[in-house]
Amino acid sequence: MSFRPSQIRQRLAEGSAAHGLAIRVKDDAVFEFAAMLGFDALWLDLEHHCVSVETAAAHIRAARAGGLADVIARPGNGEFARAARLLEAGARGIMYPRCESAAEAAELVGWTRFPPQGHRGLDGVSPDNPFGLTPAPDYLRRANEEILLIVQIESPNALCNIDEIAATPGIDFLMLGPGDFAASIGVPGQMNHPEVVAAHDKVRDAARRAGRRWAVTCFDLDHARRMREQGADLLFHGSDWRILSRAMQALVAEVRAIQ
């Protein structure tokens, strides 16, 4: 069995955008089902959610069984060893939150890419390998080629360092974290606040200057279209929980109207 390639990178090679969904429901079946539906990326958040590495590994396995979607795992800030273990479990990418400097971005690269690009340790029988069936030289080369590292900018300080962060070798995507950025400047929940919009533009422009791609969280389809027109290559369209919430609220309103 050969090394599993990245679906996101395949979309980019075709000149298309990649589309993803955050999965909040802690059930392997949801990950498997979402992959079956054809999403390119599934966002697995371990910063905010009470998910162990073992549970995350089961979610990743289910997604890989369901389809071609890349699991993009998000550890907590500074959890570099955890990020490496998530890759061993089969996550195709890491979304790193609250990056503040180029030095921090470089440390992420070091932990998650094999030599000569980094110093990630080699486990020869991990699901990522898969289980030793890919010869080590081929595995290291393919893993370095296919991994996706997304660095999130979530504070004014990080925004000041954006060009240095973007220039870090091994970083693939820049991404504004609009929720945390809005909170950090005293306007929590105001995703369309002028300062948040300006921060997004700075992240986008820094990515362009550095020859990086950029990712975005989309609020609705009109927003997604605008972001794609601006050059976003990886678009996340909310979460399964948000979809469930809207559908159930609509159903409650409809059934209450039945007299």
The enclosing domain of 90 has a CATH number of 3.20.20.60
Reading the block at residue 130, the tokens are 């898969």
137: closest CA among 128, 148, 124? 124
Q: What total number of domains does the chain contain?
A: 1
Tens digit of pLDDT at every position of the chain (259 positions) = 578 999 999 999 999 999 999 999 999 999 999 999 999 999 999 999 999 999 999 999 999 999 999 999 999 999 999 999 999 999 999 999 999 999 999 999 999 999 999 999 999 899 999 899 999 999 999 999 999 999 999 999 999 999 999 999 999 999 999 999 999 999 999 999 999 999 999 999 999 999 999 999 999 999 999 999 999 999 999 999 999 999 999 999 999 999 7
Strand ranges inside 46-159, DSSP E: 70-74, 93-96, 148-153
* Known catalytic membership, residue 193: no
Is there a domain that residue 1 lies in?
A: no
Is there a domain that residue 138 lies in?
A: yes
Three-state DSSP class for residue 155: coil
Is there a domain that residue 131 lies in?
A: yes
pTM of the model: 0.95
Residue of 48, 119, 200, 223 marked catalytic: 48
Distance between CA 33 and CA 143 in Å, rounded? 26
Is there a domain that residue 2 lies in?
A: no
Distance between CA 204 and CA 72 in Å, rounded? 20
- Domain boundaries, position 67: 7-256
Side-chain-facing half-sphere of 177: CA atoms under 13 Å = 21
